[in-house]
């Protein structure tokens, strides 16, 4: 028994992303003996965001931690763009509230951000072990009692926290999740494009440290579920495209994500924003899109699943969220583990407290509220017909030629009826009411 206890810790966390590091931070502060295993050379080495993080959940769940965090820019302009083949219509919100401190959201890059967070976690007293890949869980009498790394190494623990990202091989091996359905996930490809801060601020009409967040949907994904994103960092732009894997498999003729990204970059709406910029990194990441339906079992004897490993992400077209869920779920898992530790009971019934906490919070409540959003977004008209129709009507209103111009109301009514006065549109409108 003494031998088995050697090298045993109280908690082993697989994955130094935002979820794993948040859990580790809370546990370490409570004096819990915690190890974080990370397969990359440093926390962040394997991590990709779009991205931007919304701050209120972070401040609520880990107060006081973020003051010196290496965020890029606080977002002051939000833009949603509908793209037709040869036109686009954009809506921008520039609100005074976005300029009030504490700021609403920040852009960030995970390579720098997660490394900073890893240092904070180490300062708090957890041990972060980079360059180790967790390959499997150790099961004894039906309960998880640790992890295996490579041929020889293992770490035994009271609890294993699966924070190993969207594919969560650990949750799968512990029997908490079945094979992943293509329809519940999207693939994203992104470039980081360097530009001087001054150019970014001029091109996007921003003050120093102010940032823009822009989402695009329509012709850029050729009718497939997905869209584009652009976030301004201090001295770079994160530009990418997201496509549902299920849509990609069904699409004829076949299309490739990296080509869609090139086409997107070539559009006049984007081309001028990134002109003279230098691409310095290309990345790809799978995103959970299945909402509440793709959430696996979240706990079992000796294990909990957090962050993207738990399928926690939510894209509702206007906002794309994930990192907030990661931090919140990590903190709640840690709280549940602390309570289990007081009871010295790490069984499933004891760790069920984690799910209770999640269910009471915005995490599972928001996933439940937006349960039908994927059904709504799987509609090809959203990515083809509607953006085109809106751009066509707008073009008619703006276009001046030598002929007498009809009344604005007449153009809107006539065109609007011809484009939207259809049974399919009424059905789609009714679907909007469900989200």
Partner 1 sequence: MNIEAKLGLDVFKIDEEPHIIIDQEICKACEEKYCLYVCPAKLYTVNRETGDMEVECSGCLECGTCRIACIHGALDWNYARGGFGIQYRFG
List residues near partner 1 by CB under 8 A: 39-42, 44-49, 109-112, 114, 130-133, 135, 149-150, 166-167, 169, 179-182, 185, 187, 189, 191-192, 236, 245, 248-249, 254-258, 262, 279-286
We find the least distance from the C-beta atom of residue 295 to partner 1, in angstroms, to be 16
Nearer to partner 1, 323 or 351 (CB): 323
Nearer to partner 1, 39 or 222 (CB): 39
Nearer to partner 1, 130 or 380 (CB): 130
Tell me which residue of 156, 152, 71, 144 sits closest to 107, measured CA to CA: 71
Nearer to partner 1, 150 or 421 (CB): 150
Nearer to partner 1, 41 or 360 (CB): 41
We find the least distance from the C-beta atom of residue 375 to partner 1, in angstroms, to be 20
We find the least distance from the C-beta atom of residue 118 to partner 1, in angstroms, to be 13
Nearer to partner 1, 378 or 396 (CB): 378
We find the least distance from the C-beta atom of residue 303 to partner 1, in angstroms, to be 19
We find the least distance from the C-beta atom of residue 306 to partner 1, in angstroms, to be 18
Nearer to partner 1, 39 or 104 (CB): 39
Nearer to partner 1, 255 or 435 (CB): 255
We find the least distance from the C-beta atom of residue 129 to partner 1, in angstroms, to be 9
Residues 366 and 355: beta-carbon distance below 8 Å: no
We find the least distance from the C-beta atom of residue 281 to partner 1, in angstroms, to be 5
We find the least distance from the C-beta atom of residue 427 to partner 1, in angstroms, to be 30
């Amino acid at each position: 028994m003494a031998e088995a206890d050697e090298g045993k810790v109280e908690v082993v966390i697989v994955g130094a992303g935002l979820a794993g590091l948040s859990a580790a931070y809370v546990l370490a502060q409570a004096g819990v003996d915690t190890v974080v295993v990370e397969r990359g050379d440093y926390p962040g080495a394997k991590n990709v965001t779009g991205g931007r993080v919304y701050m209120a959940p972070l401040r609520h769940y880990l107060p006081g931690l973020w003051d010196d965090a290496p965020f890029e820019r606080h977002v002051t302009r939000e833009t949603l763009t509908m793209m037709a083949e040869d036109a686009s219509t954009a809506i921008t919100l520039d609100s005074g509230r976005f300029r009030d401190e504490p700021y609403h959201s920040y852009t960030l890059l995970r390579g720098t951000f997660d490394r900073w967070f890893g240092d904070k976690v180490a300062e708090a007293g957890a041990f972060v072990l980079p360059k180790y890949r967790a390959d499997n869980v150790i099961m004894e009498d039906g309960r998880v009692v640790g992890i295996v790394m490579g041929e020889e190494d293992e770490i035994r623990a009271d609890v294993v926290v699966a924070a190993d990202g969207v594919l969560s091989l650990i949750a799968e091996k512990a029997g908490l999740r079945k094979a992943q359905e293509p329809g519940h996930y999207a693939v994203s490809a992104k470039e980081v494009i360097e530009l001087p801060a001054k150019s970014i601020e001029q091109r996007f009409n921003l003050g120093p440290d102010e940032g823009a967040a822009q989402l695009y949907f329509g012709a850029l994904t050729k009718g497939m579920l997905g869209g584009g994103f652009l976030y301004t960092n201090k001295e770079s732009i994160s530009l990418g495209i997201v496509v549902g894997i299920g849509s990609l498999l069904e699409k004829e003729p076949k299309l490739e994500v990296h080509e869609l990204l090139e086409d997107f970059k070539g559009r006049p709406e984007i081309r001028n924003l990134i002109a003279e910029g230098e691409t310095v990194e290309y990345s790809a990441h799978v995103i959970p899109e299945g909402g509440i339906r793709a959430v696996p079992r979240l706990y079992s004897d000796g294990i909990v699943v957090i962050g993207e490993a738990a399928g926690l992400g939510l894209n509702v077209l206007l906002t794309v969220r994930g990192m907030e869920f990661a931090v919140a779920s990590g903190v709640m898992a840690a709280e549940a583990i602390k309570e289990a530790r007081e009871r010295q009971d790490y069984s499933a019934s004891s760790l069920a407290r984690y799910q209770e906490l999640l269910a009471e919070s915005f995490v599972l409540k928001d996933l439940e509220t937006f349960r039908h959003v994927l059904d709504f977004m799987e509609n090809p008209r959203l990515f083809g017909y509607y953006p085109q129709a809106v751009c066509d009507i707008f073009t008619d209103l703006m276009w001046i030629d030598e002929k007498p111009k009809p009344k604005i109301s007449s153009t809107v009514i006539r065109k609007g009826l011809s484009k939207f006065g259809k049974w399919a549109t009424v059905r789609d409108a009714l679907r909007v009411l469900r989200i």
